[in-house]
Amino acid sequence: MIRRISLLPLLVVSACATVEPQRAGVDYPAEPPRSMPPASTGAPVSRADEGDWRAAGSGQDAAFERSALLTDTVYRNVDVLLQQVERSGAMGVNRGWEAGARKGGEWYIEEQRFGDTVIGAGVNRNRVDLIDAGLRAFEWGFQQQAQDGSFASRDNYVSTAYFVAGVAHGIWLLETTGHARDFSGRIATMRPKLAAAARWLANANNLSAARPAMEQFNSRYFLTGYALGAAARVTNELPLAAAGDQLIREGISKQNAAGFFTERGGFDVSFQGEALVYLLRYHDHVANADARRVIEPSLRRALAWTESRVNPAGVIQVANNTRTGANQERDRTGQPRRVSAVAVSRAFGLARFVIGEARYETLARTVATARQP
């Protein structure tokens, strides 16, 4: 019997560049110029060009989100997705934490990132109720935000990076596909809160404290780099774009010659898929032309390595994984962390649109429908 993929993916949330006039993503409405707020203290500086920072590729991620591939796989049972969001907006383990009157237990701001998945389903199926629910998930998250932009949940740096990446992608997707106009007031309220959270991530002290974990788990370079770059994309904050560019380049510089990004001293196919989703999104609608030239060779090597870890039946090979598939780690619910077919399938599916090679869609569908370990 075929086992369907999980509807709450590990995000998770994954073309040759030429020098040309830059433009925004598909149908992205031009915004009136907004004054830049002061740069956050200690924000890293990179080679991102000031006149080109907001440049985006063709915005094919928006086409991917509306594709039949996602309709048939991740967004197949959208009513189940809708049920994952409480009326309050809480998601995942945060639902139980809230139901227990917030006494004891743990909550994680990262759980609210799955609002992006619900929004994606709404865009894919043209359902306003799903988009509304995804935005409620983001709003619940921002209700927990401290004045400095942080969130007082456990593992708050990586957890905040996941949330910022999800919110920024969700807003970008709504704006790119024209759905934002129906929620413009709510999105406008979120923008300064998103910017504050991203500035907290970019703060030199916070980033320095997070670097040892990034060195151990290289996928976090791409998670955080995309979070900062995408937040810059939707808030018009140049310092965030520079910080994101620097982290993406650092992550690429650490790629193993075989094509994988190191996770806990080795490789892990699930987190390789997650890294690819963020790197593909960055290439598609955040990176400038120079960054795309740097990213593409790394993307192709990473995709080739990931493909080598999938058998002809679409089963992900978990042998020698360092984090998933053999009870090495536990997820936020306390269960053993399993290999994520959603992350790997989404990476291949997104590559089909961003890289433009149809065989990646076949790979994505095969992985999505295979019985995984």
**pLDDT score at 294:** 94
pLDDT by residue (tens digit) across 311-336?
Answer: 999 999 999 999 999 999 999 988 99
39 domain-assigned: no
Q: How many domains does the chain have?
A: 1
Amino acid at 58: S
* Confidence at 238, pLDDT banded by 50, 70, 90: confident
Mean pLDDT of the 191-206 span:
98
7: pLDDT strictly greater than 60: no
- Report the amino acid identity of residue 285: H
Residue 27 lies in a domain: no
**96 lies in some domain:** yes
What is the pLDDT of the chain when averaged over all its residues? 86
Angle, vertex CA 226, rays to CA 41 and CA 7, nearest 5: 135
Residue 26 lies in a domain: no
**Overall average pLDDT of the 355-371 stretch:** 96
Domain that includes residue 363, residue range: 60-369
Give pTM, 2 decimals: 0.86
Residue 58 has pLDDT above 80, yes or no: no
- Greater confidence (101 vs 152) lies with 152
Residue 73 lies in a domain: yes
Residue 13 counted as domain residue? no
**Looking at the predicted structure, is the pLDDT value of residue 44 above 70?**
no
Distances (CA, A) of 33 to 2, 214, 243: 51, 35, 21
32 within some domain: no
**pLDDT tens per residue, range 101-133:** 766 678 999 999 999 999 999 999 999 999 999
Q: What CATH number should be reported for the domain holding residue 126?
A: 1.50.10.10
In a domain, 66, yes or no: yes
Q: Which residue has the higher pLDDT, 5 or 255?
A: 255
Average pLDDT over residues 273-299: 96
